[in-house]
Structure 1
Amino acid sequence: MSYIEALNTRIDALEMRIAYQDEIIEDLNEAVVAQWKQIDALTRQSASLIDRMQEAENRANATSRPEPPPPHY
């Protein structure tokens, strides 16, 4: 194998490696984007549930009256 052929073989191998790495990077990027979308949705859902729970606690506290003592006291 001549020097030029060896260089061409190495260049071809490097080009294949780069193409594979580009594909992997794109796949990883898509996974990260999907995860961030899911994290954002879960964060919004969690905040909404916290707000609803606080509203329910506030309503319960506002409408609750002290219980009268039992009749045997």
Structure 2
Amino acid sequence: MDNLENRVEELEMKIAFQDGTIEELNTQVIKLNNLLASQQDQLRILLSKLHAVEPSNMASQSEETPPPHY
């Protein structure tokens, strides 16, 4: 009977440890998800600012005259 009780107790300890680990992992996943959402928002803002920038006064490479040695 002691052997059965020891096995049950060992299983209970393993389950308790696994529950704690799952909670810690869940907390980390939530933090990373929030960080990812924040970074996606920042990227959207940067892209919208980039698209809003007026074109440069410089001519495009296809419009540039080649250097004299060509």
Common fold, TM-score beyond 0.5? Answer: yes
Q: Which runs of 5+ in 2 are unaligned?
A: 60-70
Is 1:40 the equivalent of 2:34? no
Q: Which runs of 5+ in 1 are unaligned?
A: 67-73
Deviating 4+ runs (over 3 angstroms): none
Aligned pair count reads 58
- For normalisation by structure 1, the TM-score amounts to 0.73
Identity %: 28
Q: CA RMSD in A?
A: 1.5
Aligned counterparts of 2:55 and 2:28: Cα–Cα separation in 1: 43
Match in the other structure for 1:69: none
The Cα offsets for residues 32-58 of structure 1, whole Å up to 9 and x where unpaired, read as 1000000000000000000001001xx
CA shift, 1:60, in A, is: 3.3
